[in-house]
Structure 1
Amino acid sequence: MSLQNVWHHRKVAENAKKACWICYKPTESVLITPDNKDFFYICTGHLSDRGFCQPDADEAAAAAARKKKEELDREIEIVKKEYEEKQKLKREKRKAKQKEKEKDKDKGKDGETNKTDEQEDKDDEKKKDDKIKELSQSKEKAQDDLGPRIFALQKNFHQMRLDRIRNAEIAKRNRERLSNPSNFPSPPSNLP
């Protein structure tokens, strides 16, 4: 039986954790073959170990896309925070202006300042929306580049998996042989 040295990284549910094949700590990461013939649980720390496995060549590009996506998420959060801070400052300024207006009761200045405040709010809102749309579009493009994580085990670990599968097949054959009574010799029929 030949098992290709191609393994896809998958995650299982939090309550389905099992022991890592190497260190026996509970983990939710699984490496599985494309044909689903073999799988094992593995810690994410072992996946970054070059002595255990190496990512596929295309995987490097996918990792770069993931980093880009994370950076875009951070940028979106920063834009949202800046906008909220600006809005907070504007509200405080408006409250201060309203208090001054009440004191002055000057209606001519009142109309002009409200219009400029509203225009500034609309402009800031448009700028924020434009930035978020732009970042979201580039984020979606980055997500399209993401694919399954693919690894190749080092030859010693791959051989260990092959040996394990081979030993399981041999044990199964032996159990079948032992359960079949025709495989045992019959007692002698001649009396001495």
Structure 2
Amino acid sequence: MSSMSFPNLYTHRKVAETKAKSCDICYRLSTSVLITADNKDFFYICPSHLKEPAFCTPKIDTEAIEARKKKELEEEIERVKKEYEEKKKKKEEEKGKEADKEKEKDKKDGEKSKDKDEKKDEKDQENSKGSRSTSREGTKSPPVEEEPRIFELKPTFYQQRLLKKRQAEIAKRNRERLQDPTFFPSVPKNLP
């Protein structure tokens, strides 16, 4: 009977409106499902019941949170590296342009172009700051506090789920036995 047992950790999932079935508690149609990680058990439930402390307790999925944080950190590092490389290239290009301009023009013209370049650099920096803030907003989604997705049922409800699963398993085994032709005794062939 240990094959029928499953961990008391259920993940909350949504199904399509067309797949809605009655809630196990109140029998209203619901699109919310609680399912175990190994898919051994699932049942439909109204989202309002998930907030009832007498029914279940939310569990924090620390692994998923850590994985999400790590991914965001890696994306941030990549973005900063790209920005650094772009700035480095721009500075090298500008140094090369300034050297060419100084050779071609006299000091007065060179000073004017430097002033223009400095103003241009300031504008570029402001633009890059503005684009950096927008790119950050674009790549990094705002930290929305998600509702808990993993729940642990209270012992009473968990035992009910185990019992229901066990009864279903026994009924299935009985059906299989009844369909087996060797299950019933055969009619005696020899007369007494």
TM-score, structure 2 normalization? 0.56
Alignment of 1:10 with 2:10, yes or no, is no
Q: Distance in 2 between matches of 1:4 and 1:18?
A: 24
The one-letter code matched in structure 1 to 2:165 is I
In structure 2, the residue matched to 1:95 is: none
The count of aligned residue pairs is: 125
Gaps of 5+ in 2: 66-126
Letter in 1 for 2:30: T
Correspondence for 2:189: 189
Query: Deviation at 1:133?
Result: 3.7
Normalised TM-score (structure 1): 0.56
User: CA offsets per residue over residues 80-130 of structure 1, 9 Å max, x none?
Assistant: xxxxxxxxxxxxxxxxxxxxxxxxxxxxxxxxxxxxxxxxxxxxxx9xx78
- CA deviations 1:114-166 (Å, max 9, x no partner) are xxxxxxxxxxxx9xx78x849936962515x8597100000111111111111
Whether contact under 8 Å (2:60, 2:148) holds in the other structure is no
CA distance in 1, matches of 2:137, 2:9: 33
Equivalent position of 1:55 in the other structure: 58
Instruction: Supply the AA of the counterpart residue of 1:150.
Output: I
Q: 1:41 to 1:148 in 2, by over 3 A?
A: same
Distance across 2 between alignment mates of 1:55 and 1:149: 7
Amino acid in the other structure paired with 1:41: Y
* Aligned-residue CA RMSD (Å): 3.2
Identity over aligned pairs, percent: 52
- Can you give the 5+ residue segments of structure 1 that lack an aligned partner in the other structure? 63-125
**Which structure carries more helix by proportion?**
1
**Stretches of 4+ aligned residues off by more than 3 angstroms:** 132-139, 145-148
